Amino acid sequence: MVRVRFAPSPTGYLHVGGARAALFNWLFARHHKGIFILRMEDTDRTRSAYKFERAICDDLRYLGLDWDEGLEIGGDHGPYRQSEKLDVYRKCAKRLLKEELAYHCYCSAKELDLRRREALRKGIAPRYDNRCRNLTSRQVEEYRREGRRPAMRFKVPSGKVVVSDIVRGDVTFDCAELGDFIILRSDGVAAFLFANAIDDGQMTITHVIRGEDHLSNTPRQILLYRALGFNKPRFAHLPMILGPDHTRLSKRHGAASIAEYRRLGYLPEALLNYLALLGWYPPDGQEINSPEELIEEFSLEHVGKPAAIFDVDKLNWMNGYYIRHADLSSLTDLAIPYLREAGYLTASFNPERHRWLREIVGAVRGHLSCMSEITRRVDIFFERDLDIGPDVRKMLQRDQAREVLEALCDRLSRVADLTAVTFGNIAKELAMALGVKGKDLYLPIRAALTGRLEGPELRSVLPILGKEECIKRIKKALKTIMDYKL
């Protein structure tokens, strides 16, 4: 059975790259009816925080990525926090030490840093020179008298390691270039590579799907799987995610974390759909896909090697599509917090007015790329004293603008119920009576009612504003025309 894992470090919020890795693991597991595991690599004591662990779990749930085993759920292969397995890692390290597959290293951090800098100065790739591999008992005793606490290093054998990667093909590494690496730090805490390999082995992970920035770690982990007697999983290293300028994705390209996209009002369906297209190509080329369709079509063989470009404009387009097709009642519920924050709704908003608010959201959603933009679109319905700017004033000075507005005001005063149908009939009457159509007819009306030259369809705007408010705004616009001419 397929068993995959997502293993973030709770040192910050879930970023786009991490979310994409989690999604690909989830899709792979669901496609093969396997197990998706969530575990936390929290051995970084200074930076790990419980709030980040909670945030990561919340963001995964927001995206709809449920897990079958792991954090908060449990399972037969726990614990699922590395901080709860320190004794396990130490036991495995002692075993490697006993089998002479590892050794104590007494080099200080300062000494290692100096050697690294010297290698870089000479243009040599830094790696440990294995100088502590064959220490004499006298040298060990001298280091101990100095009070040095040793780390533990793995003895890298000679030869080559071939990583058979599903995405990148066979990648060969020369063991001579790896250098003996630390598996247990001097404070007794397991290094990332070591803890990661043990967790994969004990949790019987069959496939490791992660970013290509981890590819250089893979040969070391393969050596550890062998030394510890674990089955080697298959690997798939996903392409990097870059910004439109082909540099590593960062905040300068937009929001960096899923939490930020949630705050801005991106729908989970849109985020999930867009993340799936970062490096994976659906066989049929279809871009709008439900989770079920993604699961059905997903395969690692269709993941590309080139870097994926994170295009905010395309994400906005996709999110706009999902906003336009979302259930209107649910969309209105999503809009309420933004409208409250902007002061358009009070904390005691009457649920009985939900229908009125739903009409407003329905009118403007075609102009939204994310829900936080709604506050800039609905002011025309909440502000009773709209400012009329220079462009709008100029529009109202055009020929027949005054005639159109006076005729509309007259027609509105004689209708009992202002609906979209009613306005449509009035517009037809005005077009025939005044001999105007298109922009000459509708722009003066939009300018007078909204103070803008673009926005929601007028057949939606007028019924929401209501007859009395429409007449009031038209009269104000007419007065503006007269004042301007004077």
**Is the pLDDT assigned to residue 349 strictly greater than 50?**
yes
Pick the closest to residue 256 from 39, 21, 18 (CA basis): 18
Whole-angstrom distance, CA of residue 476 vs CA of residue 482 = 10
Whether residue 334 sits in one domain with residue 283 = no
Residue 205 lies in a domain: yes
Q: Is 251 a catalytic residue?
A: yes
Whether residue 174 sits in one domain with residue 279 = no
- Please report the DSSP string for 401-442 in residue order: HHHHHHHHHHHHHT-SS--HHHHHHHHHHHHHHHT--THHHH
Whether residue 225 sits in one domain with residue 126 = yes
pLDDT in tens, 21-51: 999 999 999 999 999 999 999 988 888 899 9
Tally of domains in the chain: 4
Question: Looking at the DSSP assignment, which residues form a beta bridge with residue 236?
Answer: 209
Looking at every residue in the chain, the average pLDDT score rounds to 93
Residue 411 lies in a domain: yes
Residue 316 lies in a domain: no
At 250 the pLDDT is 67
Burial class (CB in 10 A: 0-12, 13-18, 19+), 405: buried
In the structure encoding, which two tokens stand for residue 341, read together? 């924050």
Rounded mean pLDDT, 374-385:
89
Whether residue 246 sits in one domain with residue 296 = yes
Q: Which amino acid is at 430?
A: L
Rounded mean pLDDT, 147-163:
96
Global pTM reads: 0.91
Whole-angstrom distance, CA of residue 199 vs CA of residue 117 = 33
Residue 293 lies in a domain: yes
Residue 292 lies in a domain: yes
Whether residue 374 sits in one domain with residue 414 = no
**Is the pLDDT assigned to residue 254 strictly greater than 70?**
no
Whether residue 437 sits in one domain with residue 342 = no
Q: Which residue has the tokens 């597991």?
A: 29
Whether residue 128 sits in one domain with residue 205 = yes
Lowest mean pLDDT among 47-61, 91-105, 387-401: 387-401
Boundaries of domain holding 398: 390-485
Whether residue 399 sits in one domain with residue 375 = no
Whether residue 192 sits in one domain with residue 120 = yes
Q: Which of 251, 314, 394, 479 is catalytic?
A: 251
Whether residue 251 sits in one domain with residue 222 = no
Neighbours of 288 (CB within 10 A): 12
Whether residue 435 sits in one domain with residue 340 = no
Residue 317 lies in a domain: no
CATH code at 50?
Answer: 3.40.50.620
Apex CA 235: angle with CA 234 and CA 238, to 5°?
Answer: 155
What confidence tier does 273 reach under pLDDT thresholds 50, 70, 90?
very high
Whether residue 93 sits in one domain with residue 234 = yes
Whole-angstrom distance, CA of residue 378 vs CA of residue 368 = 11
CATH code at 364?
Answer: 1.10.8
The pair phi, psi for residue 23, each rounded to 5°, is: -60, -45
